[in-house]
Amino acid sequence: MHIFQYHPDILKRYPQVVGGAILARNVTNGPTPAQVQALYQTEQQQVLERIGNTPLSQIESLAAWRRAFRGFGVDPTQYRSAAEALLRRLTKKGDIPSINLLVDLGNLVSIRYGLPVAVFELRALQGPVTVHFADGSERYSELGESAEDHPEPGEVVFSDETKQVVARRWCWRQSESSAAVEQTRECLITVEAHHAAGHHDIEAAVHDLLTLVKEYAGGTFTSSILDAHNPALIYLPED
């Protein structure tokens, strides 16, 4: 059973993309415990110190995402990748608000590597989540909104087999229906890169995500590193 996959057209246009995908089952989400809050705060301070006065546009992983956005006609200074948006919030405000355990763990790893990490609730989704170029007929409700919208034709989106979009402009913003909430017990976690050291960084980020989620949320996991040669996370249920 395919859980997450790249459409061949994406791999043709972006042959360098590397993704990490984790299917997490039987996890326990909820408010972020104090121990994880402390880890998260420490990570934020370390990242701030590491970035210093470096413009975010000069961080290799973020610059590569800006190029990817331009590649499908989106201005990356108007619509920022999820990783850049988090780091922008951190450098301007000094901290990132806590959401819940799974989201905070994803954000911790996101700022550590400067890569977008998404945690998708799977209850509302049908079939595999595919990264593809939209035709404009897909359906999307923005996080915090109930009104339905449609992506622009040619925009890179994540959607399920019913054309329900769970992320617009590749990694700009998640949908309302896919957001991990305190009741989430099964989720898809993704992390993606376009820069030259992407494979190395994705492997490290997936390792960290698995370690953190196992320790603090429990559960069982299936994971894979995805690229042009291995474009899908496949889950084989036990008989």
Provide mean pLDDT across the span 103-119: 98
State pTM to two decimals: 0.96
Confidence of residue 236 (pLDDT cuts 50, 70, 90): confident
Does the residue 199 lie in any domain? yes
| 30, two tokens | 């909820």
Does the residue 93 lie in any domain? yes
Does the residue 214 lie in any domain? yes
Confidence of residue 124 (pLDDT cuts 50, 70, 90): confident
pLDDT computed for residue 75 by the predictor = 97
Interval 78-103: pLDDT, tens: 999 999 999 999 999 999 999 999 99
Does the residue 100 lie in any domain? yes
- Whether residue 17 contacts residue 49, with contact meaning beta carbons closer than 8 Å, is answered with no
Does the residue 135 lie in any domain? yes
Does the residue 50 lie in any domain? yes
Assign residue 47 a region (left: φ > 0; alpha: ψ between -120 and 50; beta: otherwise): alpha
Range of the domain at 97: 2-234
Task: Work out the number of other CB atoms within 10 angstroms of the CB of residue 157.
Answer: 24
Does the residue 239 lie in any domain? no
Domain containing residue 136: CATH number: 3.50.40.10
Structural domain count, the chain: 1
